[in-house]
């Protein structure tokens, strides 16, 4: 009895010995950002774990755009939102159609399309950025938000098609047969049978592409430059160019910018985790 108690205690202690460092490692950069956000200008670096006089003044500065770095804060927030939503919507549309055609309609050449998508998925993002930037210039899209939207759709859709195809391959083919026996057209099958059954994967994939677009820095920084058309990520990067940047405002803006994706992730967590890992385990 005593021995098993002792054994339990050692096991728990060992687990805590892993858990605590993991938690600290994960939270330090985020907590540091939070600490900056609730500290007055010069007290953020005092080394205290909690500021002597926590303040929400920084948030007031950001929300009311009271610094020239923040002149377009709300417009940039709106840009980030608009771009993320458009990318999420377009990616979902394109990927669902492609996955349905490949997996359910078994269109000829579907396998090739899947391979093209996988190929795109495996190009390192920063490598594709160079020729993508040049071609966006040729298309006359530079500095237009469409450039970023289309680039992000290009990057997000391959993985979405793959995840959706994996999920729809698992649906029993008898469903399609039954629908066809009843004289359903492909579109009726798509809207009345396929989409309702695919909802969990669609949520996962939609959330994935939305977050990918909201969080993107490199493509946004290359493709957009006008202060009024950039996203928050690019605006944060611009703080870096000056030595006298107001760090506490930068960290406050960063915290505000990081919160929506975290909230969205937690809301759709169960779809995300199962949706994004199911394909990986199979391979």
Partner 1 sequence: MSESATLPSAVAPARTSSSWEFWGRWLVVPYLLIFLVFVLYPVCYGLWLARHPESYVKLFEDPIFFRTAVNTLVFLVVAINVKMVLALLLSGFFIQTRWWIKIISALFILPWAVPSIPTILSVRFMLNPEWGVINSTIFRMTGLDGPNWLNDPTLALTFSMLMHIWKSLPFWTLILLAGRMAIPSDQYEAASVDGATTWQKFRFITWPSMKTLYLTSTLLSMIWTLGDFNSVYLLTGGGPADLTHVLATLGIRYLRLDQVDLAMASIVVALPLVLPLVYYMMKRLSK
**Distance from C-alpha of 250 to C-alpha of 240, rounded to nearest angstrom:** 9
Instruction: Name which position in 15, 82, 192, 195 contacts partner 1 (CB under 8 A).
Output: 15
Site string for partner 1, 207-246 (x = CB under 8 A): ----x--xxxxx---x----------x--xx-xx------
Binding footprint of partner 1, residue count (CB under 8 A): 101
Question: Cβ 207 to partner 1, closest distance in Å?
Answer: 10
Q: Which of residues 121-140 bind partner 1 (CB under 8 A)?
A: 122-135, 138-139
Q: Which of residues 99-118 bind partner 1 (CB under 8 A)?
A: 100-102, 105-111, 113-118
Question: Which burial class, exposed, middle or buried, applies to 188 when counting CB atoms under 10 A from its CB (0-12, 13-18, 19+)?
Answer: middle
Residue with Cβ nearer partner 1 (229 or 251): 251
Q: Which of residues 31-50 bind partner 1 (CB under 8 A)?
A: 32-33, 36, 45-47
Q: Which of residues 248-267 bind partner 1 (CB under 8 A)?
A: 250-251, 253-255, 257-258, 261-262, 265-266
13 binds partner 1 (CB under 8 A): no
23 binds partner 1 (CB under 8 A): yes
Hunting for tokens 């399309």 — which residue is that? Answer: 113
Close Cβ partners of 270 (under 8 Å, ≥ 6 residues apart): none
Question: Cβ 199 to partner 1, closest distance in Å?
Answer: 19
Instruction: Name which position in 70, 98, 198, 249 contacts partner 1 (CB under 8 A).
Output: 98
Q: What is the dihedral of CA 173, 175, 178, 182, to 10 degrees?
A: -130
Residue with Cβ nearer partner 1 (53 or 174): 174
Cβ atoms 275, 167 nearer than 8 A: yes
**Distance from C-alpha of 170 to C-alpha of 279, rounded to nearest angstrom:** 11
148 binds partner 1 (CB under 8 A): no
Cβ atoms 264, 211 nearer than 8 A: yes
**Distance from C-alpha of 283 to C-alpha of 278, rounded to nearest angstrom:** 9
Cβ atoms 196, 171 nearer than 8 A: no
Q: Which pair of structure tokens corresponds to residue 224?
A: 């957009």
Question: Cβ 97 to partner 1, closest distance in Å?
Answer: 4
Specify the DSSP class assigned to residue 242: -
Question: Cβ 198 to partner 1, closest distance in Å?
Answer: 14
């Amino acid at each position: 009895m005593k021995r098993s108690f002792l054994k339990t205690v050692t096991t728990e202690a060992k687990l805590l010995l892993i858990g605590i460092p993991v938690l600290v490692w994960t939270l330090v950069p985020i907590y540091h950002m939070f600490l900056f956000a609730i500290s007055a200008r010069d007290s953020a670096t005092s080394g205290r774990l909690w500021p002597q006089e926590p303040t929400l003044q920084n948030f007031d500065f950001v929300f009311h755009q009271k610094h020239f770095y923040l002149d377009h804060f709300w417009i940039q927030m709106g840009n980030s939102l608009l771009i993320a939503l458009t990318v999420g919507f377009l990616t979902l549309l394109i990927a669902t159609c492609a996955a349905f055609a490949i997996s359910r309609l078994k269109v000829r050449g579907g396998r090739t399309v899947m391979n093209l998508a996988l190929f795109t998925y495996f190009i390192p993002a920063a490598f594709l950025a160079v020729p993508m930037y040049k071609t966006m210039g040729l298309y006359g899209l530079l500095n237009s938000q469409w450039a970023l939207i289309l680039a992000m759709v290009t990057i997000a859709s391959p993985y979405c098609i793959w995840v959706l195809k994996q999920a729809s391959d698992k649906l029993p083919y008898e469903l399609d047969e039954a629908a066809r026996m009843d004289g359903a057209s492909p579109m009726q099958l798509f809207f009345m049978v396929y989409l309702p059954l695919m909802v969990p994967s669609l949520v996962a994939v939609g959330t994935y592409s939305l977050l990918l677009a909201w969080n993107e820095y490199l493509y946004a920084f290359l493709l957009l430059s006008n202060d009024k058309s950039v996203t928050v990520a690019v605006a944060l990067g611009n703080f870096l160019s000056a030595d006298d940047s107001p760090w506490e405002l930068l960290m406050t803006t960063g915290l505000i910018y990081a919160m929506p994706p975290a909230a969205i992730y937690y809301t759709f967590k169960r779809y995300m985790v199962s949706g994004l890992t199911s394909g990986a385990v199979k391979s």
